[in-house]
Amino acid sequence: MDELRKFYDEVAKVAYGLYEKRGRGHGRDMEDWFEAEMIVKKRYEKGIGQTAVAVKPATKKVNRKEKIKA
């Protein structure tokens, strides 16, 4: 359970970093959270979980219709 808590805490920190990096705009909390989960999972796969503080958003493919709506 302790490992799960560490993972959750790291995801929360990364998600907040993404929120700040976007200029603290509201309404994209779930998107930030899911992106943070992907970032943290990749860190754990590489064996660097709980070490990196800097946040670099993952690139995501967006179709044309999503771009138009945004």
Predicted local distance difference test score (pLDDT) of residue 41:
94
- Model confidence pLDDT, tens digit, residues 21-66: 999 999 999 999 999 999 999 998 888 765 444 445 555 555 545 4
Predicted local distance difference test score (pLDDT) of residue 47:
83
Helices (H), the chain: 2-21, 29-46, 64-69
Taking a C-beta distance cutoff of 8 angstroms, is the pair 20, 33 a contact? no
User: pTM for the whole thing?
Assistant: 0.64
Taking a C-beta distance cutoff of 8 angstroms, is the pair 7, 33 a contact? no
Give the domain ranges of the chain: 2-69
The least confident of 1-5, 11-15, 19-23 is 1-5
Taking a C-beta distance cutoff of 8 angstroms, is the pair 51, 44 a contact? no
